[in-house]
Amino acid sequence: MGVELYLDLISQPCRAIYLFAKANSIPFEVHSVELLKAILRYLGQKYKTPAHWDPPELQARARVEEYLSWHADVIRGTFGVMLWIQVLCPFIDAHVPKEKVDRNIGFMVQALQHLEQKFLKDQPFLTGDQISLADLMALEELMQTYYGGFDVFEGRPKLAAWRARVEAVLGEKLCQETREAIRKLCAEPRPVMDIPSAIRERMKLRLSKIP
């Protein structure tokens, strides 16, 4: 019996869930919603997926936990800002000052350096010799920024090679299928939209809090 997944493939964590389920042949039915349900580990335990995704061995698991914690604290917040600046601002005809844009690009560059030096180092994947949940979470966040107009792989051959390895494990077709929604959102012209005033104000408030 399959599982029902409530996903929005514009969301990076949702794309990671979709990739994980597909890559492990977990039967599922997708219900498109605008909610984030982080259930990677639930799927892994329920369907007994290969241990490399979420290793039970203490030291290996600690490396995955370390990355996921850092990802939540740094990558999500830092790279999410660029999605707002480059993709969502035009919907409400808003603009972020150039000094803020430049500052956040600097934050991203620092995060990318840390990602390479602290986690990837000279190993094939972020936490070792095999792909894990850490690689799914990281790659989909970086690809979101990549489609948004900032090439996070430019000048970073080690990171580009890591991306190629992860995508080779998952398969090109699956990666394209999973990212179609975010790719389309970022590629199409973004005219000012008739967004309800309450939502528009919340979006403006979020933009005002960009450091």
Mean pLDDT in residue range 75-83: 87
Judged against a pLDDT cut of 90, whether residue 95 lies above it is answered with no
For the domain bounded by 54-187, which CATH number is listed?
Answer: 1.20.1050.10
Q: What is the pLDDT of residue 34?
A: 53
Contact call for residues 169 and 23 (beta carbons, < 8 A): yes
The predicted-structure confidence for 175-206, as pLDDT tens digits, reads as follows 999 999 889 888 877 777 788 888 888 888 88
Helix (H, G, I), strand (E, B) or coil at 23: helix
Judged against a pLDDT cut of 60, whether residue 36 lies above it is answered with no
Helix (H, G, I), strand (E, B) or coil at 6: strand
Of the candidates 7, 2, 5, 10, which has an alpha carbon nearest to the alpha carbon of residue 186? 10
Q: What is the pLDDT of residue 1?
A: 58
- Kindly state the tokens that stand for 163: 């991306």
Of residues 10 and 64, the one with the higher pLDDT is 64
Q: What is the pLDDT of residue 192?
A: 78
Of the candidates 108, 196, 122, which has an alpha carbon nearest to the alpha carbon of residue 157? 122
Helix (H, G, I), strand (E, B) or coil at 91: helix
Number of C-beta neighbours around residue 183 at 10 A: 17
The predicted-structure confidence for 137-156, as pLDDT tens digits, reads as follows 999 999 999 998 889 999 99
Residue type, 16: A
Q: Where are the domains of the chain?
A: 54-187
Judged against a pLDDT cut of 80, whether residue 122 lies above it is answered with yes
Of the candidates 126, 130, 128, 129, which has an alpha carbon nearest to the alpha carbon of residue 140? 126
- Kindly state the tokens that stand for 75: 């990558």
Helix (H, G, I), strand (E, B) or coil at 9: coil
Helix (H, G, I), strand (E, B) or coil at 29: strand
Angle between helices 157-170 and 12-23 (to 10 degrees): 50
Q: What is the pLDDT of residue 33?
A: 64
Mean pLDDT in residue range 112-135: 97
